[in-house]
Amino acid sequence: MIVHAETAVLGACMTDPKCYWRVADLLVPGDFADGRHAKLFALITEQARQSAPFDAITLADLQPALGSLALDIHNTEGWRTANVRAYAEQVASLAITRRVKSAGAQIARLDGPDVLGQAQQLLGSCLPRHTGEVKHIREYLRASVAELQRRVDAKESMTGLPTGLPTLDEMLCGYQPGDLIVIAARPSVGKTAFTVQSLVNAARHGKHVLFFSLEMTGVKIADRIQAHIAQVNAAGMKRPAMFDNADFGALYAAGAEIAELPLFIDETPALTVEALCARARQLHATQKLDLIAIDYLTQMTPPSGPKLSTADALQIITRALKQLAKELNVPVLLLSQLNREGDGHRPTLRALRDSGAIEQDADLVIFLHRPNPAKREHVILIVEKQRDGETGDIHLFANMRHQRFTETDEPIPDEASTPTSMSGYAQRSRNRAAPRQPAPAWHERNDR
């Protein structure tokens, strides 16, 4: 069966050049089990990319060692060029089977501290390279109209996952499925707390959430979630003497609620992007994930290569995460640090570390900016990039005592460090935001 499918693909390509382009997105030479077939397909691929002929006689002249094989396949009568796509799918399917069996043998020999991560990375490499196809616009139009009708029938005001901040929800219509969303800030501004708040809000709406905490332990994340829901002093999680009986009662009630949330945490440090994507796919197969978050980009183990720069490595990571978001059709929140250009000044896309790949691949970029270091509770949320919508500012009160962000109409502490004009969303944020809360009277801040 393997030989017949492989020779059928090769015969069809040499008979009709158009056949190669019908299978070029499905196959690479390594998918052919027969080594000679692989070499012949590699030669066809090389010729096709140069817009050169690749009939059997031409190939035989180019590679005499493959000449008899090319001529034997070509001389077989009755190649059904119309079915070349089906033949290619058989070859690709059989190649996946071989890769899985090979991965199984390698998994059996694994050793070290992260055998599971290595195994998931190996299995991730077995996935099909391409699962899509070119379609006429009418196919996507039907899907668009059907989705629009579903939203009309459901009378939904938001098409994505709610963020928990009314103005941000209005601006974004929630976090959108398939989007790679970058949340960036300088250290200690609160990007982890902000993200955890988003995850908890989604989980409270019954959405299945996966959080890759590459820097902090799962226990510390649980501490933050308890402080957020119970609204107790986060510093008290390290110093219980700060709590009174009411605090412990609130923590007990919060713990009971948290235990029932569909929230999953992977605290494995220094994951590769392949292992991370494999684990997400594995959980998605059983839990149907709705939201994924990664804290944070530079804590991931970068791909290695002799000529791979930091920017190239980050591009591989962000491209893989964007593909994951599209494949699973879920928003992927990716936390990132800002470089020192974001210190003391309103950040721009240039402030993203090695910003080229991040800026290009992200569908949405959100900055958390503290314009006045003396006013740590005041943070400006800046929607700096949104592919399908407006950008603007939202003023937030950062209550790190309770690991909680709320919208505020508090005046900007340092007008000189922010733009003189405000976006429409920023003005609406001031007009209808939640009332300002009193500043926390504590000194043990935990506001990364």
Distances (CA, A) of 40 to 69, 95, 97, 267, 313: 8, 17, 22, 46, 32
Angle at 200 (CA atoms; ends 443, 294), nearest 5 degrees: 85
74 contacts: CB under 8 Å, gap ≥ 6: 11, 14, 15, 55, 56
Structure letter (DSSP) for residue 411: P
Averaged over 15-39, what is the pLDDT? 88
Residue 341 has pLDDT above 70, yes or no: no
Tell me the CB-side half-sphere exposure of residue 257, using CA atoms within 13 A: 18
Beta bridge partners, 333, equal 181, 293
Please state, for a pLDDT cut of 70, what percent of the chain lies above it: 83
Structure letter (DSSP) for residue 175: B
How long, in residues, is the chain?
448
Specify the range with the lowest mean pLDDT, choosing from 81-90, 91-100, 270-279, 360-369: 270-279
**Residue in 282, 285, 291 with CA at minimum distance from that of residue 263:** 291
For 419, the 3-state DSSP assignment is coil
CB 346 within 8 A of CB 419: yes
For 227, the 3-state DSSP assignment is helix
Say if pTM beats, i.e. exceeds, 0.75: no
304 contacts: CB under 8 Å, gap ≥ 6: 313
**Residue in 323, 336, 309 with CA at minimum distance from that of residue 273:** 323
Write out the two tokens for 353.
């570390």
Write out the two tokens for 286.
């059983």
Give pLDDT tens digits for 381-410. 999 989 888 889 999 988 877 888 888 876
Q: Which domains does the chain have, with CATH numbers?
A: 2-124 (1.10.860.10), 160-432 (3.40.50.300)
Most confident among 95-109, 152-166, 354-368 (mean pLDDT)? 95-109
Specify the range with the lowest mean pLDDT, choosing from 42-56, 130-144, 429-443: 429-443
**Residue carrying the six token digits 């591009």:** 315
Write out the two tokens for 303.
């791909």
Mean pLDDT, rounded, of the chain: 80
Please state, for a pLDDT cut of 90, what percent of the chain lies above it: 20
More confident position, 126 or 185: 185
- Rounded to whole angstroms, the Cα distance separating 192 from 213 reads 9
The DSSP annotation for 284-304 comes to: HHHH--SEEEEE-GGGSBPP-
- Rounded to whole angstroms, the Cα distance separating 108 from 106 reads 5
**Residue carrying the six token digits 């010729």:** 47
CB 180 within 8 A of CB 328: no
Give pLDDT tens digits for 146-170. 777 776 776 666 778 888 898 998 8
- Rounded to whole angstroms, the Cα distance separating 228 from 257 reads 12
Residue 414 has pLDDT above 70, yes or no: no
Cis omega before residue 87 (within 30°)?
A: no
